[in-house]
Structure 1
Amino acid sequence: MQDPFRNKPTDTAVTAIARTIEINIMQVLQEEDVPKPLAPENYYLM
């Protein structure tokens, strides 16, 4: 994991992490239009 942002299978899933934070904040604020979590596209999400 020397370079975690090069779109490889072992990379850090920054976009998925940010989406999860967004969903959690919207749920705490009781928003009605909460986005769905991101699904893996080319590899997998941990």
Structure 2
Amino acid sequence: DSYRNADAAITQISCPVLFLLGSQDQMTPPKAAQGLITAARASGKTV
């Protein structure tokens, strides 16, 4: 799974982050990304 370490990887990003999530997305529903969004904000990223 390519995304399993995403929460740790988000701390290495040094630019603002844009999450684009669609309400009808069948692969990744918006609520599934909430943990990553929270981790990005917690590490000081502009989201």
TM-score, normalising length from structure 2? Answer: 0.28
Higher relative contact order (CA 8 A, sep 6+): 2
TM-score, normalising length from structure 1? Answer: 0.28
Compare CA radii of gyration and give the structure with the larger one. Answer: 1
